[in-house]
């Protein structure tokens, strides 16, 4: 829990914008997932979505994590749907 808060908290205290903070959180979540810290990865993906709820990489990454690591296909599909809707919203 500490490193997750440090990654997101320190960047906020340095005045880094929300998009960059969300990107940093997503990168950190992916590293946690790779190193089998699934609880930490899930917490960090949620933190990224808290920082910026429509962040593409956070939506896609968390949905992929849920489907692959947690086996939660139903929630993953909802996030992929949200991701797709956001993509089409930004195109139009």
Question: 44-72: string of b/e by CB count within 10 Å (b at 16+)?
Answer: bbebbbebbeebebbbbbbbbbbbeeeee
Number of H helices, E strands in the chain: 5, 0
What's the CA angle centered on 57, arms 36 and 24, to 5 degrees? 70
Instruction: State residue 79's pLDDT score.
Output: 84
pLDDT per position as a tens digit, 45-66: 999 989 988 888 888 899 999 9
Kindly list the domain boundaries of the chain, sorted by start residue.
Answer: 2-91
pLDDT per position as a tens digit, 3-24: 555 555 556 666 778 888 889 9
Tell me: domain 2-91, CATH 1.25.40, correct? yes
Q: Other C-beta atoms within 10 Å of 10: how many?
A: 12
Instruction: State residue 35's pLDDT score.
Output: 94
> Dihedral of CA 82/84/86/88: which sign?
negative
pTM: 0.77
pLDDT per position as a tens digit, 58-87: 888 999 999 999 999 999 998 888 878 877
- At 1, the pLDDT band (50, 70, 90 cuts) reads very low
């Amino acid at each position: 829990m500490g490193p997750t808060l440090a990654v997101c908290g320190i960047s906020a205290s340095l005045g880094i914008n929300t998009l960059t903070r969300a990107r940093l959180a997503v990168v950190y979540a992916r590293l946690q997932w790779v190193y089998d810290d699934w609880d930490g990865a899930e917490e960090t993906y949620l933190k990224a979505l808290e920082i910026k709820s429509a962040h593409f990489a956070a939506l896609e990454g968390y949905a992929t994590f849920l489907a692959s690591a947690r086996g939660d296909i139903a929630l993953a599909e909802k996030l992929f749907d949200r991701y797709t809707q956001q993509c089409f919203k930004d195109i139009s």
